[in-house]
Chains A and B, each alone.
Chain A
Amino acid sequence: MTQPQTIVDKIWEQHVVHAEQGKPDLLYIDLHLVHEVTSPQAFDGLRMTNRSVRRPDLTLATVDHNVPTTDRTLPNPDPLSTQQIEVLRTNCKDFDIPLWDIFDLRQGIVHIISPEHGLTQPGMTIVCGDSHTSTHGAFGALAFGIGTSEVEHVLATQTLPQSRPKTMSVEVTGELGVGVTAKDVILAIIQRTGVDGGVGHVIEYRGDVIRKLSMEERMTVCNMTIEGGARAGLIAPDEKTFEYLLGKEFSPSGLDWDQQVENWGKLVSDKGAVFDQSIVLDGNNIAPHVTWGTTPAQSVPVSDVVPNPDDATTASSRETAQRALKYMGLEAGTAITDIGIDRVFIGSCTNGRIEDLRRAATIIEGQKVSSSVSAMIVPGSGKVKQQAEEEGLDLIFKDAGFEWREPGCSMCLGMNPDILLPQERCASTSNRNFEGRQGAGGRTHLVSPEMAAAAAIAGNFVDVREII
């Protein structure tokens, strides 16, 4: 009998082009997603070495990181962004790569557009010069972020030399309470593992809570895998995955579909498969989370208080917590619900999908944004924006006082004009609360779309479980 395998083992073995003792395996890459920020130097490298793009037909480019989210028929005020976008256009033209450009309805955040058109499928290897490529793991794909040297490598060879990662099982049991979301699940996981608990590993998320999540919620969980240190995180495909993919533009159809569904069904970790690490979380105990510090692991339930650094177990974590509180302008012991906010950002590859907007809308409908808060909603893609407008969500948001913007990464990383001013405090549905992430001196609290929406209305954090 063959050794029981994890889903990672199975996908890995299906993609090994070349293996040699003492060297990393050479893995074939099924899909390479490209954007304007991490690719210019890779294309330059190709030109300098007179190499071409091996498989433009397995490559897709879009502009997302630094595009303005305001009226795009107006000139882009930022000459450097304009240049970077122009350079991508030239590179795509020169190397024959399809580009979903700024006036294409399909343009959007790279990790949102690929799944929504069915390009992301189970069992694939997917890479992109962006650490949130782990998002695609929601479909049972092995997907991870790479640097620019690796972008050039994939462009030139459609492969990547990779050492086999360790595996980690993260099981979330039980059932989530009302008002508790996928965002809270992943924040709770990272709080438990720490920001480096996953280093060197690929995570498989399992358990009843994960199974019950929709595909979009699974993407939220997998998206933030890198914030716990693991480069990739995935979920075995199931009926929900197949249902999501059925009929999508790039999904197989007819007999091919039947054959693929059969193949995809085998992509599960075998009974008895061994993981290098395993942790179990009780989903019943997960509450809506709010980060209080400057790493995604520094979060507490909304009903809690800002922790005291003196309670930290090591000198190093005490120091880190002290620095974080100073940067965030918070006092230990402050109730999370007493923290007032200035800005709200709903969007990003973590929470910029249609379901996120629908859930935010249920909180916002008929309410007004607090007079002390400036709030914006940035749909993750042109398609998400169109769908939201068809459903009238944009009107709910605008009536409440939210700004309704064009799709892109926006204030998740503030490469475009959407940034926090120094010391502005933001309830954000994005993925990183690092110092200066959303603007130099800005203070980010990571939350779910529901929590962000409720905070926008109240002007401070509120426990969504009390209002729904």
Chain B
Amino acid sequence: MKAVKQVRGNAIPLNRADVDTDQIIPKQFLKRIERTGYGEFAFFDWRKDDDFITNRIQYKDAPIMLAQQNFGCGSSREHAVWALEDMGVEAIIAPSFGDIFRNNCSKVGLLTIQLDQDDVDYLMSRAEELPEGEIVINLENQTVMIGSEWSRQFKIDEFVKHRLLNGLDDIGITLANEQKISSFEEIRSSFLPSTDQAGQDSLKIN
């Protein structure tokens, strides 16, 4: 995972609530087995409307996305995060996020920033009126700033922050505790089911 320290640039004002991951990346693109190249399919159905916000030239390549509450709800598809990442989004600001989506973002290195509704509304109308308006997000200081005129603190899980700042691979961190996993496995109940034999004697349909 690449390290994230600061995100600076203009923001796409996606002024909708409950944007589900089916909208971010529709199912027909989940058949791909690659990890990259989803950007062109992001918001595929909504983009058919020429006036849809991501089609507007002023917001092309904007690194920040603004959205309303519960952004990324629904399906667990990490493809939604990959699609946003691939279209150049590095941070999303919203009043709240879907749990699984937010977690997926933290694994990929996409910042999700939760701000109060009033602050999101302010940023939203500003981005609509001033499409090139720059926002600066500083992860170390946990701030969202517009020049020196407007600034807000945001909360973030300390460990997620540490991982993002340093671009740390979760699996590597866990495997540093490999011995503890082995010890746990030694005392784990023997009554628990195993799929060891599940591959055997396949029941074939004629």
CA A104 to CA B68, docked complex, whole Å: 45
Q: A22-B159, A145-B76, A436-B26 are in contact. Are A252 and B99 (CB under 8 A)?
A: no
Residues of B within 8 A of A130 (CB): 75-76
Q: How far is the CB of A55 from chain B (nearest CB, A)?
A: 8
A240 within 8 A of B: no
Give the tally of cross-chain contacts (CB within 8 A): 217
Residues of A within 8 A of B188 (CB): 28
Interface hits, B70-106 → A, CB 8 Å: 70, 73-79, 81, 96-100, 103-104
A301 within 8 A of B: no
A271 within 8 A of B: no
A430 within 8 A of B: no
CA A402 to CA B81, docked complex, whole Å: 39
Residues of B within 8 A of A80 (CB): 31-32
* Contact, CB under 8 Å: A195 / B76: no
CA A313 to CA B175, docked complex, whole Å: 50
Q: A157-B174, A196-B69 are in contact. Are A149 and B27 (CB under 8 A)?
A: no
CA A441 to CA B46, docked complex, whole Å: 11
CA A257 to CA B159, docked complex, whole Å: 41
Q: A98-B199, A157-B175, A415-B28 are in contact. Are A436 and B22 (CB under 8 A)?
A: yes
Residues of B within 8 A of A11 (CB): none
CA A60 to CA B196, docked complex, whole Å: 9
- Looking at chain A, what size class is its interface with the partner chain? 35 or more
A49 within 8 A of B: yes
Residues of A within 8 A of B199 (CB): 97-99
* Contact, CB under 8 Å: A157 / B195: no
B158 within 8 A of A: yes
* Contact, CB under 8 Å: A131 / B74: yes
Within the complex, which residue of A83, A119, A124, A153 is in contact with B174, where a contact is CB–CB below 8 Å? A153
* Contact, CB under 8 Å: B30 / A159: no
A328 within 8 A of B: no
- Which of A30-38, A360-368, A447-455 lines the interface with chain B? A30-38
Residues of A within 8 A of B192 (CB): 30, 121, 124
Q: Mark A213-225 against chain B: 1 for CB-CB distance below 8 A, else 0.
A: 0000000000000
Interface hits, A14-44 → B, CB 8 Å: 17-18, 22-24, 26, 28, 30-31, 37-38, 40-41, 44
With A26-B180, A229-B73, A252-B193 known, 17 other A-B pairs at CB within 8 A are: A28-B181, A38-B77, A38-B78, A56-B195, A57-B196, A80-B31, A105-B204, A131-B75, A144-B100, A147-B103, A148-B104, A149-B107, A196-B69, A226-B100, A316-B68, A320-B18, A432-B74
Give A contacts to B, CB under 8 Å. Answer: 17-18, 22-24, 26, 28, 30-31, 37-38, 40-41, 44, 49, 51, 54, 56-60, 65-66, 78, 80-81, 83-84, 87, 97-101, 103-106, 118-119, 121, 124, 129-131, 144-150, 152-153, 156-159, 161, 163, 195-196, 199-200, 226-227, 229-231, 250-252, 256, 259-260, 263, 295, 316-317, 319-320, 323, 382, 413-415, 432, 434-437, 440-441
6 residue pairs A–B, Cβ–Cβ below 8 Å: A31-B193, A38-B77, A57-B196, A78-B31, A147-B77, A161-B170
Give B contacts to A, CB under 8 Å. Answer: 16-18, 20, 22-23, 26-28, 30-35, 45, 68-70, 73-79, 81, 96-100, 103-104, 107-108, 157-159, 170-171, 173-175, 177-178, 180-181, 184-185, 188, 191-196, 198-199, 202-205
